């Protein structure tokens, strides 16, 4: 039974079309969980390399392809190197998402990594020839890398927006400078006998210059609404938003949408 369950899970994982209704270890639909699942599944695949290669070599020698045994065996180290590279891509996206998330999500991500790795849970008990055949034909779902890169870009934009909003909310209010300490009093000079002041000459009537007219205040510029009530914010030069900034794509560009609270 364990072998049959393992084979079913691995075969479902081969084409990446498994759903939560057909397998308890199928990938979730959300971007972060999906990439975490890909990380676990590919990590399990890479960890079996040393275990399966003796049987893989035997199979390749018994059934050589048109290019010969050596050409076929050369591809497996290349596949392992590509898997290690992809694992770094997935890990980078997962880390970026966890940093950008306003709430802790690492526990959920860890659970999805385990679910992905679980497709190989019967590797120790299944027949070694069958395991090698499945390992040779398996590859992660084709959209794992694409979704990982999308997740990292969106997380980076969201992280910048969160940092900007946090900085705007915590900007200290300028305070008035402290008063200068009073100087010690100096004794007043002795009184001097007053001399009658000369009579002032008749002064010409003073003319009062007109006061300069105050310039009318310029109203603050508002971001133009695009697509109804939607307010677009450029993530490169973000502006304060009376609400929440959410990552999105408009006109082929990564932007932020200002959603009022």
Q: Phi and psi dihedrals of 58, rounded to 5?
A: -60, -45
Q: Does pLDDT of 233 surpass 90? A: no
Sorted by sequence, the CB contacts under 8 Å of residue 133 that are 6+ apart come out as 59
What's the CA gap between 15 and 41, in Å, rounded? 13
In this structure, are residues 41 and 23 in contact, taking their beta carbons and an 8 Å threshold?
no
pLDDT tens track for 71-83? 989 999 999 999 9
Tokens describing residue 238: 């973000």
What's the CA gap between 23 and 14, in Å, rounded? 13
In this structure, are residues 220 and 228 in contact, taking their beta carbons and an 8 Å threshold?
no
Percent of the chain with pLDDT over 90: 42
Question: Span 120-136, mean pLDDT?
Answer: 92
Task: Concatenate the DSSP letters of all residues of 38-74 into one string.
Answer: HHHHHHHHHHTHHHHHHHHHHHHHHS--TT-HHHHHH
pLDDT at res. 22: 57
List the domain boundaries for the chain.
Answer: 2-158, 222-261
What's the CA gap between 223 and 178, in Å, rounded? 39
Comparing CA positions, the residue from 83, 24, 73 lying closest to residue 48 is 83
Quote the crossing angle between the two packed helices 69-100 and 49-62, to the nearest 10°. Answer: 150
Radius of gyration of the chain, Cα coordinates, nearest whole angstrom = 36
pLDDT tens track for 156-179? 888 776 555 555 544 454 555 555
In this structure, are residues 137 and 75 in contact, taking their beta carbons and an 8 Å threshold?
no
pLDDT at res. 240: 66
Comparing CA positions, the residue from 165, 155, 149 lying closest to residue 96 is 155
What is the signed CA dihedral for 135, 148, 98, 119, rounded to 10 degrees? -20
pLDDT tens track for 2-45? 453 454 455 454 544 444 445 778 899 999 999 999 999 999 99
pLDDT at res. 109: 95
What is the residue whose two structure tokens read 């490169």? 236
Q: Does pLDDT of 209 surpass 70? A: no
Comparing CA positions, the residue from 22, 21, 15, 16 lying closest to residue 37 is 16
In this structure, are residues 42 and 16 in contact, taking their beta carbons and an 8 Å threshold?
no
pLDDT at res. 102: 86
pTM: 0.60
């Amino acid at each position: 039974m364990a072998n049959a369950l393992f084979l079913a899970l691995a075969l479902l994982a081969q084409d990446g079309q498994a759903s939560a209704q057909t397998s308890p270890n199928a990938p979730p639909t959300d971007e972060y969980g999906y990439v975490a699942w890909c990380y676990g599944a590919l990590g399990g695949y890479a960890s079996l390399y040393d275990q399966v290669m003796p049987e893989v070599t035997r199979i390749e020698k018994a059934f050589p392809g048109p290019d010969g045994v050596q050409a076929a065996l050369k591809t497996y180290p290349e596949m392992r190197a590509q898997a290690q590279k992809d694992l770094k891509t997935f890990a980078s996206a997962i880390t970026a998402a966890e940093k950008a998330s306003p709430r802790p999500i690492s526990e959920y991500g860890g659970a999805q990594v385990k679910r992905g790795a679980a497709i190989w849970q019967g590797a120790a008990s299944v027949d070694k020839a069958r395991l090698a055949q499945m390992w040779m034909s398996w590859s992660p779902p084709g959209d794992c890398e694409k979704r990982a890169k999308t997740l990292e870009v969106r997380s980076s934009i969201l992280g910048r927006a969160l940092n900007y909003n946090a900085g705007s909310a915590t900007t200290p209010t300028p305070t008035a400078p402290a008063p200068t300490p009073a100087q010690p009093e100096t004794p007043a000079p002795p009184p001097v006998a007053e001399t009658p002041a000369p009579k002032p000459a008749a002064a010409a009537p003073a003319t009062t210059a007109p006061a300069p007219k105050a310039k009318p205040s310029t109203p603050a510029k508002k971001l133009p609404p695009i697509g109804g009530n939607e307010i677009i914010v450029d993530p490169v030069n973000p502006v304060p938003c009376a609400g929440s900034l959410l990552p999105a794509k408009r006109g082929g560009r990564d932007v932020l949408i200002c959603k009022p609270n």
